[in-house]
Amino acid sequence: MGYTGNVLRIDLTTGRARVEELRRDWARQYLGGKGLGIKYLYEELAPGTGPLAPENKIILATGPFTGTPVPCSGKLAVITRSPANGAILDCSIGGNMAAEIKFAGYDLVIIEGRAERPVLLRIADRQVSLEPADDLWGRGTHETELLLRERLGAGYKIMSIGPAGENLVPFACITSELYRQAGRGGVGAVWGAKNLKALAVQGTGSVQVADMSGLLQVAQQALREDLLTDTNLWAYTDGTPMLVEMSNNTGILPTRNFQAGCFEGFDGLKSDTMKQYRQGKRACFACGLGCGNYTVVARGRVEGPEYETLALAGSNCGIASLEAVVRFNVLCDDLGLDTISTGNVMAFAMELAQRGIKDFGLRFGDEAGYLDMPALIARREGVGQELARGVKALAEQYGGREFAMQVKGLEFPGYEPRGSWAMGLAYATAPRGACHMSAWPVAEEAYGERDPFSIEGKARLVIDLQHYNAAKFSLILCDFWALSFERMAELLEPVLGWKPGAGDLEKCGERIFNLARLFNLREGIDGSQDTLPARIFKQPLQGGATDGRLLPEESFTAMLSEYYQLRGWSAAGVPLPEKLVELEL
């Protein structure tokens, strides 16, 4: 119960599709979503498979809560090997696609091979077809989706890539339902390499649970007691833009390529400003919160901008105009670019110019150049050919490695580690590179009561959060619901027909995190890459609450060493045999 028991596998090379039985033993150990997707990829992908090779796989994974009334269970996990860095990559995307896949009768959809020509993969319950998509190739995601809605009817949920994915930009994303993205690590480029332009799914089935009446009771109780409370409702009243003011006040708002932690123009980007342009709220399937801000500014329509976009494409580029950020956001969504990495690339290029190292025509605060660049990057035209390679590759060619804000080739999210030291450890150790979804200790440190400039207890904090998020994103539940392992177990009981212990769920999280580590080690991504750019260790921040602050390298090293030890990993960051036995790996 809770699972359909079916995995749909599609080979784009041969055009064949088949339904396989779900490995229920794996589902029990890895839950679903992120964890189950990583398990399948680890078992099926031959070591050394190129991320853009036909043999790489795209796994779309639902979880046991998908399609049920469990609140905040609308997300879909997308798992593949990342073209940004060769690491394991899992993204999640909101909206309704996950439920639609489950209603079509599948827990997982595994896409492999490469189509000869651009294709649309169409799934209508048990009917699976590959249809020509030559006419869609080159079009933006908005136009693609609107054309497909017209062609197929409104009953389909659609995901598609834009020109960035088609042109294999290593930070290309996937868009669904016009405004939602699986953003990070270049998952859109894997679609492009497979000539997969779009996916359309229609499901008319249902999801079976062990005890529907019990589930409704527990779900309502959870809604009342710990979802629709002041602790979570900020996601509805404001959503992530509220973090702009919080980050600016605590000195962790990335500004001008992480040269400062506060921005003199933050007023233009904060939540109160956003609310002036907000037209309504949007929610994912089964969501009780509705964090999406449908915003219209100067004819630009977007569900957002989210904090990450406001930070990386706003303050980090020296842009104080909400209108400019919205236009940038709309462009990136339509072209299929991740706003976090794109914002970082722009900011890095701006600093190269500031320091006289290389001039790509971009300057901090210059809106015109900033708004011209996404199209050039996505289409790999002009200087866009260079910028489309990402921050790490640019630094290797032109210099500026010390201020190339990336880990393992993935650009930084919007939280300054010099003002939140555990966040630095989280960036350094996250499997996919600099990532805020693996652990988010900012809430306890910069925004909370823990000393953000101390290493005490931080290794344990990051480990606990990494396990928590790994379990939560495998069930799959939304990041914005701060629920306990006990509540997760209570919700699982009427779904599965048996109740896992809260400790068992935490252990699942640890197992999933360690398996991701094993995947990376197998691909040669080892402990030597668990580090941060030199800027974080050596260059003090300027201004605000974090003026003069560093994360000293010796403090970081001590934190990392404690982290490895607590994890049961060697000094080189390799899980020890006894840990693998303990986790049944």
Partner 1 sequence: MNKEPVRDTGVPETVQVELRGPLARYAGTGSTNGRIALPAGKGVRAEDILLMLNIPPARVGLMVANGNKICRKDLLQPGDVLVIFPPVAGG
Residue closer to partner 1 (CB basis): 243 or 353 = 243
Size of the site for partner 1 (CB under 8 A): 38
The alpha-helical segments, DSSP class H, found in 62-140 are 97-103
Neighbouring C-beta atoms of residue 223, cutoff 10 Å: 16
Answer whether 501's CB lies under 8 Å from 63's CB: no
d(CA 266, CA 244): 7
Which range binds partner 1 by CB under 8 A, 119-127, 373-381, 478-486, 526-534?
478-486
Beta strands in 408-449 (DSSP E): 410-411
**331 exposure class (CB count in 10 Å sphere: 0-12, 13-18, 19+):** buried
Handedness of CA 566, 568, 570, 573 (dihedral sign): negative
- The helix (run of H) or strand (run of E) holding residue 78 is strand 76-81
Q: Which of 220, 99, 186, 200 is nearest to 147 (CA)?
A: 200
Segment 273-302, which members bind partner 1 (CB under 8 A)?
A: none
- Residue in 203, 413, 433, 575 binding partner 1, rule: CB under 8 A: 413
Residue 443 interacting with partner 1 (CB under 8 A)? yes
Strand order in the sheet with 300-303: 278-282, 292-297, 300-303
Binding segment for partner 1 (CB under 8 A), chosen from 25-33, 404-412, 432-440, 489-497, is 432-440
Nearer to partner 1, 280 or 448 (CB): 448
Binding mask 543-572 for partner 1 (x = CB under 8 A): --x---------------------------
Applying CB under 8 A, the span of 58-66, 233-241, 356-364, 577-585 interacting with partner 1 comes to 233-241
Does 542 contact partner 1 by CB under 8 A?
no
The yes or no reply on residue 233 touching partner 1 (CB under 8 A) is yes
**Nearer CB in complex with partner 1: 141/232:** 232
Closest CA to 70 of 290, 221, 177: 221
- 330 φ/ψ sector (left φ>0, alpha ψ -120 to 50, else beta): alpha
Separation in Å, CA 529 to CA 85, 329, 427, 429, 432: 11, 31, 11, 9, 11
Write b or e for each residue in 297-310: b if 16 or more Cβ atoms lie within 10 A of its Cβ, otherwise e: beebbbbbbbbbbb
Q: Which stretch binds partner 1 (CB under 8 A): 5-13, 86-94, 126-134, 238-246?
A: 238-246
Largest CA distance in the chain: 66
Distance of alpha carbon 71 from alpha carbon 287, whole angstroms: 5
- Residue 184 identity (one-letter amino acid): R
Q: Could you say whether residue 250 binds partner 1 (CB under 8 A)?
A: yes
Stretch of 13-21, 157-165, 241-249, 558-566 contacting partner 1, by CB under 8 A: 241-249
From the list 145-153, 360-368, 441-449, 506-514, the region that binds partner 1 by CB under 8 A is 441-449
Least gap, CB of 412 to partner 1 (angstroms): 13
Q: Is 147 in the site for partner 1 (CB under 8 A)?
A: no
Q: Hunting for tokens 């980007």 — which residue is that?
A: 269
Determine, following the binding rule CB under 8 A, whether residue 100 of this chain makes contact with partner 1. Answer: no
CB of 482 to partner 1, least distance (A): 4
Query: Could you tell me the smallest distance in angstroms from the CB atom of residue 221 to partner 1?
Result: 19
Q: How many whole angstroms separate alpha carbon 389 and alpha carbon 397?
A: 10
The contact pattern for partner 1, residues 190-229, with x = CB under 8 A and - = no contact, is ---------------------------------------x
**From candidates 43, 272, 359, 526, binder to partner 1 by CB under 8 A:** 272
In three-state secondary structure terms, 51 is: coil
- The interface region with partner 1, picked from 75-83, 367-375, 435-443, 514-522 by CB under 8 A, is 435-443
Min. distance of Cβ 231 from partner 1 in angstroms? Answer: 5
CB 90 to partner 1: min, Å? 16
Q: Which position among 77, 199, 235, 459 is part of the footprint of partner 1 (CB under 8 A)?
A: 235
**CA 492 to CA 497: how far, in whole Å?**
8
> CA 421 to CA 442: how far, in whole Å?
9
Residue among 322 and 376 whose Cβ is closer to partner 1: 322
CB of residue 262 to partner 1, shortest distance in Å: 9
479 touches partner 1 (CB under 8 A): yes
Least distance from partner 1 to the Cβ atom of residue 338, Å: 15
Q: Which of 129, 208, 237, 529 binds partner 1 (CB under 8 A)?
A: 237
Element holding 539 (H helix, E strand): none
Helix (H, G, I), strand (E, B) or coil at 156: coil
* Using rule CB under 8 A, residue 246 touches partner 1: yes
Write the DSSP symbol of residue 413.
Answer: -
Measured between alpha carbons, how far is residue 475 from residues 24, 40, 180 in Å? Answer: 14, 16, 20
Q: Shortest gap between Cβ of 240 and partner 1 (angstroms)?
A: 7
**Residue ranges in 28-87 that form contacts with partner 1 under rule CB under 8 A:** none
Query: Of these, 1, 212, 242, 521, which contacts partner 1 (CB under 8 A)?
Result: 242
Using CB under 8 A as the binding rule, whether residue 478 contacts partner 1 is answered as yes
The full DSSP string for 227-249 is ISSTTTTHHHHT-TTHHHHHHHH
Position 470 contacts partner 1 (CB under 8 A): no
Does position 259 bind partner 1 by CB under 8 A?
no
The answer to the question of residue 482 lying near partner 1 (CB under 8 A) is yes
Contact set with partner 1 (CB under 8 A): 229-238, 240, 242-243, 245-246, 249-250, 271-272, 307-308, 413-415, 436-437, 440, 442-443, 447-449, 478-482, 545
